[in-house]
Amino acid sequence: MTEELNTGLLLFLPYRAMEARVFEELAAAGFEDITPSQARVFQRIASTGSRLGDLARQAGITKQSAGFLVDQLERLGYVYRAPDPDDGRARLIRIAERGHRGVEASRAVVARVEAEWEAHLGARRMAQLRRILADLREITDPWR
């Protein structure tokens, strides 16, 4: 039964499962101090550093909220702020040493969960899923 569940909810369920697994295993790996909200911002920091406003826009929150979360990430040692050489008003948020270790750990969990999904769906349908979602992103990700 494909049921009457709307596609939004169908998308949400595995998303939440992935998020829950990542936080669970991250906590077990010594990163128990990070929250989902912080992670949703952290996740979007470019490798060359990002501006607060860009992070806010991509995460879909106000820059005040993003600033609040970045303050915490900074206090926890995941990121640091540096002046933006190109614009005196702006500062770049960059990933610190501990942040890099967290990225590595979470990448490992994601890979593990994706492998489980692939084992359930089969490689072919897993690839289809990713292709279709990437395609859908074109009309559903105005923050790109």
- Residues lying near DNA in the complex (CB under 7 A) are found at 35-38, 40, 51-54, 60-65, 67-70, 72, 81, 84, 87-92
The one segment of 27-35, 76-84, 96-104, 128-136 that binds a copy of itself by CB under 8 A: 128-136
Q: 45: closest CA among 35, 58, 32?
A: 58
Of the candidate residues 60, 62, 97, 104, the single one contacting a copy of itself (CB under 8 A): 60
Residues 100-119, interacting with a copy of itself (CB under 8 A)? 110, 113-114, 116-117
Q: 43: closest CA among 27, 62, 60, 28?
A: 60
Report how far residue 57's alpha carbon sits from residue 89's, in angstroms, rounded to the nearest whole number: 18
Helix (H, G, I), strand (E, B) or coil at 92: strand
Residue 77 or 117: the one with the smaller Cβ distance to DNA is: 77
Residue 43 touching a copy of itself (CB under 8 A): yes
Between the two ends of the chain, the Cα-to-Cα distance in Å is: 35
Residue 132 touching a copy of itself (CB under 8 A): yes
The minimum distance between CB 65 and DNA, in angstroms, equals: 3
Of how many residues is the chain composed? 144
